[in-house]
């Protein structure tokens, strides 16, 4: 068992790769009443084209299969639904699908072993039939239509579509009503056997656990599997250029909303450092304490602090700024002028250090909650990141690197804007 300790937050993670290939991570939190388990697979909505280990030909499946699988995993052959079983035990259980992974989780203060037994059972014993697959299409179809009518989802997806021409991130995680129509049990079983192999999965446990005892217990719940080679994930080559500069949509909203986004390239050697640098830059330029935010707020151009993020997987990366404004294009103009000024003047050292301290404090706070810790370690693991690295790397970021990332990421030719405005305007 490998042990990694971070003295800054006084936390340890115990990591062991089991014989069947499953990576187990345990973060003990002595004296904490809640226990959290999250079992994930490195399989998300982006993985619709791949080569199964041992095969030569390319497999192409309809968009939305990963999300569809997530829905169907709870249904059991004995007629029960594992979510109902877990709820009856008094635990809070859920699941989710992203572009790059799918996860099944629960949080409990009692009955942990019974809940984990159920989790291990339904994840390792799928049950798909023609009937239950057909029934699910209607349920997921309703979910897709609900999101289609959601302005916050529309403004986000339009920003993605403005940036990307071919990358599957531009496809809704749930697929479309048309694509899910082509999903059948054979497709689900093939994707399950390919992506739900233990060697493509990870389990994270956080709470008052004894690592050695817990690892041995987890081993008793594993289904024996033959080794599997590496899955070859296939993505169409994405142009470096953006797809289009802006997308404006009219919906039933009272105030326009917008997202400014920048199409970026994945930096595999500096994933953590670059992520941190972009977050620092966003805070410096338009965060709550910035001169630009104060100006936009006082002029009524921003109603509250904008949402900011830098997202990346193995096939894409982008920075986003989103908010509500009566004049999104004016916000964009003011933002671009501010970026141009910072390119010339750089940043005050005391401002950089203040933002670094603020972000460092936010990362430290993540370690106060078992659910935040477990989800963070799982998501970072599938990105090839050790979560503790954020606490170490932030100290290495200085003015010269920030200026380098400012010039690399925040280029006007890579900038898009998505706007959702009220109908009739």
**Residue 402 exposed, middle or buried by CB count within 10 Å (0-12, 13-18, 19+):** buried
CA distance 390 to 409: 20
Q: What is the pLDDT of residue 425?
A: 56
Query: What's the Rg (C-alpha) of the chain?
Result: 23
Q: Is there a common fold for 2-233 and 246-422?
A: yes
Between CA 233 and CA 241, with CA 236 as vertex, the angle to 5 degrees is: 130
Q: What is the pLDDT of residue 199?
A: 96
Three-state SS at 4: strand
Element (H, E) at 404: helix 399-409
- Residue whose pair of structure tokens reads 């693991």 in the numeric block: 381
Any long-range contacts for 208-217 (C-beta under 8 Å, 24+ apart)?
208/28, 208/29, 208/30, 208/31, 208/32, 208/33, 208/35, 209/26, 209/28, 209/35, 210/28, 211/1, 211/14, 211/26, 211/28, 212/1, 214/26, 215/1, 215/14, 215/16, 215/24, 215/26, 217/113
Q: What is the pLDDT of residue 107?
A: 97
Give, for all 425 residues of the chain, the pLDDT tens digit.
Answer: 999 999 999 999 999 999 999 999 999 999 999 999 999 999 999 999 999 999 999 999 999 999 999 999 999 999 899 999 999 999 999 999 999 999 999 999 999 999 999 999 999 999 999 999 999 999 999 999 999 899 999 999 999 999 999 999 999 999 999 999 999 999 999 999 999 999 999 999 999 999 999 999 999 999 988 889 999 999 999 999 999 999 999 999 999 999 999 999 999 899 999 999 999 999 999 999 999 999 999 999 998 999 999 999 999 999 999 999 999 999 999 999 999 999 999 999 999 999 999 999 999 999 999 999 999 999 999 999 999 999 999 999 999 999 999 999 999 999 999 999 999 75
Q: Is 413 in the active site? A: no
**Residue 175 exposed, middle or buried by CB count within 10 Å (0-12, 13-18, 19+):** buried
Sheet strand arrangement including 307-312: 246-251, 415-422, 257-264, 317-324, 307-312
- What is the model's pTM? 0.94
Query: For 2-233, CATH number?
Result: 3.30.830.10
CA distance 286 to 306: 8
- Beta carbons within 10 angstroms of residue 367's beta carbon: 21
Q: How distant is the alpha carbon of residue 398 from its chain centre?
A: 27
CA distance 367 to 374: 9
- Evaluate whether the domain defined by 246-422 bears CATH number 3.30.830.10: yes
349-366 and 370-383 helices cross at what angle (nearest 10)? 110
List the domain boundaries for the chain.
Answer: 2-233, 246-422
Of residues 16, 19, 55, 70, which has the active-site annotation?
A: 70
Three-state SS at 307: strand
Three-state SS at 150: coil
CA distance 412 to 402: 17
Nearest to 159 by CA among 283, 275, 262, 304: 262
CA distance 359 to 353: 10
């Amino acid at each position: 068992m490998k042990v990694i300790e971070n003295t800054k937050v006084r936390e340890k993670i115990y990591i062991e790769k089991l014989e069947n290939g499953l990576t187990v991570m345990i973060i003990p939190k002595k004296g904490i009443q809640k226990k959290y388990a999250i079992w994930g697979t490195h399989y998300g909505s982006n993985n619709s084209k791949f080569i199964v280990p041992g095969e030569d030909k390319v497999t192409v499946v309809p968009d939305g299969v990963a999300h569809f699988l997530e829905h169907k995993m709870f249904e059991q052959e004995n007629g029960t639904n594992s979510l109902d079983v877990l709820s009856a035990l008094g635990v809070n259980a859920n699941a989710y699908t992203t572009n790059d992974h799918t996860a099944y989780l629960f949080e409990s203060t009692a009955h942990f072993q019974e809940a984990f037994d159920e989790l291990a059972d339904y994840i390792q014993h799928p049950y798909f039939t023609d009937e239950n697959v057909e029934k699910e299409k209607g349920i997921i179809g309703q979910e897709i239509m609900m999101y289609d009518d959601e302005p916050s989802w529309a403004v986000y997806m339009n920003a993605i579509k403005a940036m990307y021409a071919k990358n599957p991130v531009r496809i809704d995680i749930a697929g479309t009503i048309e694509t899910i129509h082509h999903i059948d049990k054979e497709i689900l079983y093939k994707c399950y056997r390919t992506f739900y192999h233990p060697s493509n999965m990870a389990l994270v446990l956080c709470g008052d656990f004894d690592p050695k005892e817990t690892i041995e217990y987890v081993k008793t719940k594993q289904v024996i599997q033959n080794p599997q080679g590496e899955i070859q994930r296939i993505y169409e080559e994405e142009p470096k250029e953006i797809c289009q500069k802006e997308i404006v949509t009219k919906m039933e909203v009272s105030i326009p909303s917008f997202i400014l986004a920048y199409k970026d390239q994945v930096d595999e050697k500096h994933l953590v450092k670059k992520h941190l640098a972009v977050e620092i830059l966003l805070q410096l330029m338009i965060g709550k304490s910035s001169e630009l935010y104060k100006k936009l707020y006082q002029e009524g151009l921003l109603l509250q602090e904008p949402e900011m993020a830098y997202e990346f997987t193995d096939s894409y990366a982008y920075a986003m700024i989103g908010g509500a404004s009566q004049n999104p294009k004016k916000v964009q103009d003011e933002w671009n002028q501010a970026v141009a000024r910072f390119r010339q003047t750089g940043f005050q050292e005391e401002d950089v250090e203040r933002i670094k301290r603020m972000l460092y404090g936010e990362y430290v706070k993540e370690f106060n909650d078992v659910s935040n810790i477990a989800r963070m370690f799982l998501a970072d693991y599938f990105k090839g990141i050790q979560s503790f690295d954020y606490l170490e790397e932030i100290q290495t970021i200085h003015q010269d690197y920030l200026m380098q990332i400012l010039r690399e990421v925040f280029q006007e030719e890579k900038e898009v804007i998505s706007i959702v405005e009220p109908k009739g305007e």
